[in-house]
A and B are shown apart, each in its own frame.
Chain A
Amino acid sequence: MKHLKREMSYHLMLLPGMLVLVLFTFVPLFGLVMAFQNYVPAKGISGSKFVGLQNFKFLFVLPDSKQILINTLIIALGKMILAIVIPVCFALLLNEIRIKWFKKTVQTVVYLPHFLSWVILASVVQFIFGYDGPVNAILSLFGVDPIMFMASNNWFRPLMIITETWKEFGYGSIIYLAALTSIDPGLYEAAAIDGAGRWKQMFHVTLPGILPMIILMTTMSLPNILNAGFDQIYNLYNPLVYETGDILDTFVYRVGMVERQYSLATAVGLIKSVVGMVLILSANKLAGKLTDRKIF
């Protein structure tokens, strides 16, 4: 406080930024009230009727809400796990490559799909796994009958998880590659002198070295537990795979198409945020207990 006068100009410079933050981050939070209302655009937030938890209840009494939640959780969890495991493995393997140009080329090529939207990739996936696409052509060489992957309830979920991982693992590995470069080479030398081979070095030097990053990324990905990937699934699903592929977001989207349901959409958003926050806090605590490495 006593420096206030001296620092006045700096505080003033902060003001526009703070105003933007308050205006666009905190003020819109009041819109959450809509989740507890039967929101009618013509009446606005102040005029709409409060309905308590009706919008939330609705989500859980639907005949297919259980199925939708299970689909969402399975697909989202599958994606989250692979989004950690594959990029870490990939980064470790790539790190062992000594030919520089090859390493760089691979690195660039694998993260290209990240920049393409699912609208485009959906047709690529549909072609590859199509009835007369390359995958079925290869299978037929082994005498397997063609499989309608995109219309099969056995295949839909795995395919969503695999294709999403394929799209994102390259991009996800960048951060681990960066973490790898920051490991002190002295540690490897010391380990080598102590007689550790490549495997031992990987487990006792490299992995612990990037562990904080892995914990950080895992924790950060937890809020996505209810985000199974709208873009991808909306572009790839069809009524035959509703059973395994219909997720929270696609369902709410279809409900919203019938009638502009601001309240319901807000309720879903709120649930997702709350679940995400609980998970992030508990993961942080757990990480602190188990490894002594807390993020915040």
Chain B
Amino acid sequence: MGRNLREKLTAILLVTCMTSIMLVGCSNNDSEVSKSAIGQKDSTSDTSGDSTEDAWMLAKTTPDAPYPETVIYTVGATVTSSIKFPEGSNDTTTDNGYTRLYKEKINIQNTNKFEASDGEDYIQKVSMAITTGDLPDIMRVDDYATFKELVDNDLIEDLTDAYNNCASDLMKEIYASNNNKALDMATVDGKLYAIPTTQISGGPELLWLRGDWMDKLGLSEPKTLDDIANIIQEFIEKDPGKNGSGKTVGLALIPKYNNQFLYGSYAGGYQANNIFTIYGAFPKQWIAQADGSAVYGSVQPEMKQGLAVLSDWYKRGLIDQQIAVRTEDDLKGLIGNGQCGSFFAGWWAPYHTVSSYTLNPDAEWRAYAVPVGKDGKVTAYTNNPVQNYFVVRKGYEHPELLIKGKNVSLAYNQSSQAFSDTSDTVKYYRDTVNGQYGLDPLGGFDYYNAAQLSYQHISEALEGKRDEHDMTMYENTLYESCKRYQEAIDNNQKPETDDWLNYQCRIAGGKVLNDTQMNLVDPVFYNQTETMKLKWATLVKMEEETMLKILTNQENIDYFDKFVKDWKAAGGDQITQEVNAAIAK
């Protein structure tokens, strides 16, 4: 009997343990939340005395006055898998080079409400936070729809006053570099609801050609579509890369791959945009017409001209014949092993051509902003001025903290302050944090023309016209690398791959970008309308299927007209109306 009882008791005990573990597992989060809430109160509880009150007031209303006591704020942290803490340090996600700088400069400290890896995971966590109504004090929102949802449901703070009081001149200057378009997009009914992260202009896609092949064949630089076709034809027929007859691939274009398509990216890779924009077609963009109404670029008659060129090129073998089944990695491979010598991509294209350099030191790539129209300029459309939105939870008592924090980030990343400030924290920031993205709880943003600026600063420094510390930390790192490249060339050595890469991107690509005269067209709408939610995927499918079929000569060019009719009937017209209504608002 006694033994029996003991067994029973043990069983009951076990069961209770297991059950309670489960229940505790479910409720664990709450305790953490309340802890951070207490932390906040602590920092603001004893604000007695006039001088501290003045200090609080000063902190609340000026760009860089520090808070008298440490203010704790919660964020949704993005943690990338590539983070490497500096060797020998005790850094954590809430105590590292980034956070110590914020603390030293304005006395703020973050705790993480949630941690997520960037991308889908982060978006999910944000949705979850919105669903439960339990938002971190400061949060990054990746798309306009979610931002608007937060505004409409009155879940985030109006930052208008905070911005007017606390935005630094540098911040204003950076926003002004793109005519304050980013701020406009974060403004609803005249009130600023977010500090938007600006988009850097990538410029148009450039045509990257194998320069060593051009020299071998005595080809001059291209200007028009015919020039381009001629060069590609020579590449294929004369086989300067010694690939064997029929092995050299023509212009590399991406078919559907993940979210990319043949066209529609912004300074993307393997795009055909330039062949459309020269005819005044702006694929996948909402473009204003002369009368002010917006239309969808892919269904305009101008598209047909670009398509005619592409399908003709495909017929002549000037476009990669296997385009339909290529992935980005395939194309990178073709370029790397020297089978392909022509593709359109942004100024960063050397990241895709670098393996051709490691495999064959003679491989040389040249960038051209072509084809140019009658005015001698290449035409391009611009990207959404906003990358993402930083918002402040409704009811948070220090909404200006976001702006003050961003001031700090901008000062040390977008000006030469990182070199003029001699504090230990800054030194650590410069030496170890520099270039390590991912753990900044607030983060900054960059000038619209950052790529051009970095080219100007670095090339001036290389020519000795600019002090090497009269630039941002990141530019300085690139400068050092470009200098090593030049020294290696001067000494007849093979430059390191990284130095080659930086030099090709920043100086070779950057120069073309900086010197190019271009016609820029701003799309007027980047968001989603109600009907798009349900019908857009069908329309996109229709569009992409049609374009590839025409390009690969499976359908005649006039099939485009049928597509336009079907597109309009299947919801395109309705969406166009909604877009126009949204713009008019």
Contacts and interface: CB of A to CB of B under 8 A. Distances in A.
B19 interface: yes
Given A254-B540, A259-B528, A41 B325 contact: no
Contact of B548 (A20, A239, A258): A239
Contact of B11 (A13, A150, A242): A13
B534 A58 contact: yes
Nearest to B10: A9
- Among A131, A150, A246, A254, the one with the most B-chain Cβ atoms within 10 Å of its Cβ is A254
22 contacts: A9-B11, A13-B14, A16-B18, A19-B19, A20-B22, A42-B153, A42-B155, A63-B542, A148-B325, A151-B324, A238-B255, A238-B548, A240-B548, A242-B541, A242-B545, A243-B545, A254-B541, A258-B532, A258-B537, A259-B536, A260-B123, A260-B127
Nearest to A259: B533
A4 interface: no
Contact of A258 (B15, B536, B545): B536
Given A44-B131, A258-B533, A258-B537, A131 B322 contact: yes
A123 to B, nearest CB: 8
B114 to A, nearest CB: 15
A19 B11 CA distance: 17
A238 B552 CA distance: 13
B537 A251 contact: yes
Contacts of B534: 58, 255, 264
Nearest to B259: A257
- Sorted nearest first, the 3 A-B pairs with minimum C-beta distance are A151-B324, A255-B537, A239-B544
B176 interface: no
Given A44-B131, A255-B537, A148 B324 contact: yes
A44 B322 CA distance: 46
Contact of B324 (A40, A41, A150, A246): A150
A96 B367 CA distance: 65
B221 to A, nearest CB: 32
Interface string A48-73: 00000000001000111000000000
B33 interface: no
A43, A240, A257, A258 — which one has the most chain B CB atoms within 10 A of its CB? A240
A85 interface: no
A40 B149 contact: yes
Nearest to B554: A240
A43 B547 CA distance: 39
A251 B537 CA distance: 8
Contacts of B582: none
Contact of B325 (A40, A63, A151, A243): A151
Contacts of B22: 16, 19-20, 23
Contacts, number: 107
Contact of A150 (B325, B540, B547, B548): B325
A42 B150 contact: yes
Contact of B145 (A13, A64, A243, A259): A259
Contacts of A221: none
B570 interface: yes
B131 to A, nearest CB: 5
Contacts of B132: 44
Given A12-B12, A150-B324, 9 more contacts: A40-B149, A42-B153, A62-B538, A64-B542, A130-B325, A148-B325, A238-B324, A246-B541, A251-B541
A261 interface: yes
Contacts of A238: 255-256, 324-325, 548
Contact of B127 (A13, A41, A239): A41
A243 B547 CA distance: 14
Contacts of A190: none
Measured as residues with beta carbon below 8 angstroms from the partner, the interface class of chain B is: 35 or more
Interface in B506-539: 528, 532-534, 536-538
A63 B549 contact: no
Nearest to B150: A42
Interface string B204-242: 000000000000000000000000000000000000000
A12 B15 contact: yes
A26 to B, nearest CB: 15
Nearest to A150: B325
Interface in A92-133: 126, 130-131
Contacts of B130: 41-42
B570 A63 contact: yes
Contacts of B255: 238-240
Contacts of A207: none
A270 interface: no
A19 B25 CA distance: 14
A150 B255 CA distance: 13
B322 A64 contact: no
Contacts of B540: 254, 258
B10 to A, nearest CB: 9
A61 B308 CA distance: 33
A43 B152 CA distance: 12
B565 interface: no
A239 B256 CA distance: 7
Interface in B126-162: 127-128, 130-132, 145, 149-150, 153, 155
A242 B539 CA distance: 13
Given A131-B322, A238-B256, A41 B541 contact: no
A275 interface: no
Given A42-B150, A240-B545, A259-B532, A64 B325 contact: no
Contacts of A257: 259, 537
A15 interface: yes
Nearest to B18: A16
A73 to B, nearest CB: 19
Nearest to A12: B15
A23 B23 CA distance: 11
Interface string A137-156: 00000000000101100000
B552 A16 contact: no
Given A58-B534, A240-B324, A42 B548 contact: no
